[in-house]
Chains A and B, each alone.
Chain A
Amino acid sequence: MKLLLDGYRALSNKPEDYEKAAKNIYDLLKNQFRRKYRIIKTSLDLCTRCGICTTQCFLYETTGEEIYNPIYRINLLRKLIHERKSRFYSIFHRGRKNKDNMITAEELHALAENIYRCNMCRRCSMACPFKVDNALIVREVRDLLSRLNIAPRDLHEYGALRQLKYDAVISMNKAAFLDIVKFMEEEIKEKRGFKIEIPVDKKGAEYLLLNVASDYIRILEDVMGIIEVLDYLGVDYTLSTEFNDASNYGVFYNDDYLAQIIRRHIEVAKKLEVKKIVVGECGHATLSLRVFKDVVPEAREFEVISVLELVDEYLRRGKLNLDPSKNRELVTYHDPCFLTRIIGLIEEPRRLLKASVLNFVEMEPNREYNYCCGGGGGIAVMYSNNFLEWRMKVSGRKKVEQIEKTGAKIVATACSNCKRQLKDLAFHYKAKWEVYGVLRLVANALVY
């Protein structure tokens, strides 16, 4: 099988997998893909290929290569859907004229690689006159291919499967988690001078706080920030030892794992008899429990909010006493795509930041027009093959330029994936800025 697209590889599947998948894809297309969401059908029919989205796609802007054109991948899919219909139809389409009009293994490989290049940031939909939803199309194609066993290792084996097996994407058992909680209590005591108690497995609390498990290892300060703020406000919350990982890689690629993981979250919430679920600083975790919770019918009884909304509510009621002079450095805010363009948390983090830092500067463009960090759509957790290099050199370049232009010393953001990508970028480009969670800065500015 010849090398398609560019030299980078997101997927580690073998050529046999693609050959097998190319035979079976049509049944799935007919029975699942095309009957799922109306917006996918209308989007594929409506796109006039006017090319407006190409002006918005930061990947295309960075590379200028045809394969990163937002419509290119949709065209690949369109070929897949339409060309088998009839010979007559296919003369209107450019490209393949093989014997049975079947997709070849190479073409399927190209499609599979290509859909794992999309960051699902939805900037293209913002500009599209017909609001063609490329991100949802990409997600559904990923879902389709994952049913044919084509999925990146980092999302599937090291992600969803591991989470279901070990309760967390990183394997963290109960003892380790309790250790971390204890460590956090000690750290906060050292910093603040008084001891706080972090509730774990408390039954009947109002909120269940779910954080991304890898945050407990990589960026404990951000988790501590959330806990400090919640403790300051006197929120009745609890952590869980069981299934405490909020992340849900099913959002990025597969409905079945999505539903399984949501079910586990809901089980925990029911067991601890909480009323609401608060998701920590994470875009896709909030999305999974808020937008996709309808996949699991029993999930509807729980209200799911982001921790930003919760704290912002207190801020607006004047319960949060903040001293901005404790954060003197220039801070900018990076809008995580899922939080901004799907859930719509745009002003909440800004209000929090403006109240807790002295100098705040906006990136250009900002809010719903912000560029993706280059790690959206699950790409931030993909390290296999040479994909890290792609994330650094191709998808993250625009963001680095954008941040450098502001001259900020601290990039605040509210998404675990964005933080991971931005930290990787800062390391790769030897940047002078640091990545903080929004609530870490808020916790820093608290006046006791």
Chain B
Amino acid sequence: MSSSFLDVFYLFFPYVSVSLFLILSIYRLITWFRVPMDIKWPLSPTPKTNRGVVASILKELVTFSSLYESDDIYWLAIIFLHFSLIFILLHVVSFLFNSMLAPDPISILRTTLYPATKDWLEIWTILIGFIAITSLLYILLRRLLVKEVREITFLRDYTELVLLLVIFILGTCMRLFNLVSMEEVVEYFLSLASLNPIKPPQNPIFLLHCLLAQLYIIYFPFSRCFHVIGYFINGWIVRKGVR
């Protein structure tokens, strides 16, 4: 494959993947909301007021309490995975914001959370990468080794996990061995955001990481990871016993 083809590919594919992600997510939500919720069948004990329902949903969202009650090691792995995902999202977004707006709320949050000197940033990114990889490995091993989980697993469950794992490993390698400089990456993303794309940083690991991440977000609305949104819908129905 010639490098010019690759360049062109990376100039337009991010737009394709992001728009596919949005369209498919909306499609998925429409298929959900087209079905009526015609039963009052709550999971008692339920909160009495709407505020109580919201509080209960948020409490579980932050603490993952129902997981903790059943399986505490798995709970730890899930907590680490989700919080590292949130950190990485914040990280990427804060970089973008940082360059677009001068004093943005997210970078203020970031600087208060940890010292934003360049070395610290590097170390944090690598550390979070390792935490995410470890927890993903644990989840994968649990799927492979624990009988009750293995016997209900489909092939696509492994595929989703492995895809996420590979993305994380490539991302962490990039930072660990400093394969691409952060400035280049930010520049590339900003150019994409301003609809005036430039050539991506020329590193095979970065390109692969980028490609897999895009495939992941295209697949996202149809993967189990769509629980990000479904959690609230199901949580509301069950706690409210909606009719």
Instruction: Give the B-binding residues of A (Cβ under 8 A).
Output: 34-43, 45-52, 54-56, 60, 66, 69, 71-72, 75, 91-94, 122, 125-133, 136, 291-292, 294, 340-344, 346, 368
Partner of A122, one of B33, B35, B43, B230: B43
| Contact yes or no, A51 B234, CB < 8 A | no
| Chain B minimum-CB-distance residue to A92 | B156
Does B12 belong to the interface (CB within 8 Å)?
A: no
Compute the total of residue contacts between A and B using a CB distance below 8 Å.
Answer: 148
- Bound form: Cα–Cα A34–B155 in Å: 24
Q: A38-B237, A92-B154, A94-B155 are in contact. List 15 more A-B contacts (CB 8 A).
A: A42-B237, A54-B149, A54-B152, A125-B238, A126-B66, A129-B64, A129-B67, A130-B230, A131-B237, A136-B39, A291-B40, A341-B43, A342-B42, A344-B44, A368-B44
* Interface pairs A-B: 6 shortest CB-CB: A344-B44, A51-B149, A71-B152, A54-B148, A38-B37, A131-B238
| Contact yes or no, A37 B37, CB < 8 A | yes
| Contact yes or no, A52 B227, CB < 8 A | no
| Contact yes or no, A126 B43, CB < 8 A | yes
Binary per-residue interface labels of chain B (79-94) against chain A in the complex, 1 for a CB within 8 Å, 0 otherwise: 0000000000000000
Does B184 belong to the interface (CB within 8 Å)?
A: no
Does B45 belong to the interface (CB within 8 Å)?
A: yes
Instruction: Give the A-binding residues of B (Cβ under 8 A).
Output: 28, 31-33, 35-46, 60, 64, 66-67, 69-71, 74, 142, 146, 148-149, 151-157, 159, 224, 226-227, 230-231, 233-235, 237-239, 243
Partner of B35, one of A41, A51, A54: A41
| Chain B minimum-CB-distance residue to A69 | B152
Q: Can you report 12 residue pairs joining A to B where beta carbons are below 8 Å apart?
A: A36-B35, A38-B37, A41-B32, A45-B226, A47-B224, A49-B152, A49-B153, A51-B142, A66-B151, A92-B159, A131-B235, A346-B44
| Contact yes or no, A41 B238, CB < 8 A | no
Distance from A132 Cβ to chain B, minimum over Cβ atoms (Å) = 7
- Bound form: Cα–Cα A92–B157 in Å: 9
- Bound form: Cα–Cα A37–B44 in Å: 19
- Bound form: Cα–Cα A183–B74 in Å: 59
CB-CB under 8 A for A49 and B32, given A69-B152, A126-B43, A127-B70: no
- Bound form: Cα–Cα A69–B40 in Å: 26
Residues of chain A within 8 A (CB-CB) of B33 are 38
